[in-house]
A = this chain, B = another copy of it.
C-alpha cells in the first residue's frame, strides 16, 4: 500500500483520486467510502486501493451488490451525520439507484427546509473510449444536471481530480462526481498540500487555452480532444479558446459568456447523446445571455442519439478531433458547412 500524502507528485488520475479520498478521510473522521468491491479489491479501478487497510471496515464498506441499497443506506448514514462517498462501479449501473438519488438525495434538504443535509458524494467511473462491454461506457450526466438539488462535476486532470473530490466531499450538498475512465491512467502534477479553500471552487470553469475566434466548451476526457483540436486549428490560423466546464451544475456562465462575448462563436462537445443533453443546456443559456454577440449558431458535437454502440464501433460514436474541427469550420462559415434543413 502506498500512502501518498504530502508534497508535489506526478500522479495518474486514479492515484490522485485515491490520494484525495485518503486525505478527505484523514481530515474528517465522518467521511466513509462505500460500494461494491471497494474494500479488499480496492475497487475495480483500484481507486480505493489501500483505504481498507488504513481506515478499517467501519469506514471502508464493501457493500452488497445493490446500487439502490448503497445510495439508500448512504442517505441514512448522512442523516446520522456521516459524509458517505459512494462508488458506483460503472456509469451504466447508476440507474438502479436513480430513485434514491432523484427522490431522496436531491430532495431531502429542500423537503426539510434545510434541516437535513445530504453531504453525499457519488463517484461514477464514467464514459467511453476504453473498449468496454455494454453498459460500461455511459454518459448519464444530463439526467443529474436536470435534477434540482444535485451538484454535478466532471474532472479532466489529476490535480482537479484530487482537489475537486475533496471539495465535493467537503460540500454540504450532494455531488455527482464523474471520473472519466479514459483518463484514469493519464498522469499529471498534483500539489498534495494545497488547501481546498485556496483552490478554485468546484463550481468554476477553467479556460484551459486562450483563443479569439471560437469558444470550445467541454468537460471530462473530451477536454484533451478539444485541446488537440485547438492545436490543429492553430495550424490553420484559427484561434480556439477551450473551456473545461468542470462543474456541470451549476455551470459557471460568467466564465462561459465572457468567452463567448469575445469570440462570438461556440462549439460544444461531449460524449453523451445530444438530444436534451448538456450541450443543449449550454446553447440555450448562451443564446439567452449572449445573443447579440453571437455571429453564428452554436454547434453541438456530441455522441449520436443512440444507445452506446459496441466497443469496436465506439470510435464512430465519440466526437473526435475531425468532427470537432468540422464544426469549427461550420461555425466559422467555412466550407463543409451543412445547409440549414429545408423547411
Contact = CB atoms under 8 A, between A and B. Distances in A.
Interface of A: 68, 92, 95-96, 98-99, 102-103, 106-107, 110-111, 134-135, 142-143, 145-146, 148-149, 249, 253-254, 257-258, 261, 272-281, 283-285, 287-292, 294, 296-300, 304-307, 340-341, 343
B273 A284 contact: no
A64 to B, nearest CB: 16
Given A276-B280, A284-B300, A289-B341, 6 more contacts: A68-B96, A92-B103, A146-B273, A257-B341, A280-B280, A288-B299
A291 B284 contact: no
A7 to B, nearest CB: 38
Contacts of A277: 146, 276, 281
Contacts of A340: 289-290, 292
Contacts of A343: 254, 257-258, 261
A266 to B, nearest CB: 10
Contact of A148 (B106, B280, B305): B305
28 contacts: A95-B98, A95-B102, A103-B135, A107-B307, A110-B306, A110-B307, A142-B142, A142-B146, A145-B276, A146-B273, A148-B275, A148-B305, A148-B307, A149-B307, A249-B275, A254-B341, A257-B341, A257-B343, A276-B276, A276-B277, A276-B281, A277-B281, A280-B283, A280-B284, A283-B283, A287-B298, A288-B300, A290-B340
Among A135, A249, A283, A289, the most chain B Cβ lie within 10 Å of the Cβ of A283
Contacts of A280: 276, 280-281, 283-285
Nearest to A298: B287
A287 to B, nearest CB: 5
Contacts of A149: 306-307
A103 B95 contact: yes
A145 B275 contact: yes
A107 B249 CA distance: 27
A280 B280 CA distance: 5
A7 B340 CA distance: 44
A109 B202 CA distance: 40
Contact of A307 (B95, B106, B134): B106
A125 to B, nearest CB: 17
Contacts of A273: 146, 148
A103 B298 CA distance: 31
A281 to B, nearest CB: 4
Nearest to A92: B103
A3 B169 CA distance: 58
B283 A287 contact: yes
A258 B340 CA distance: 12
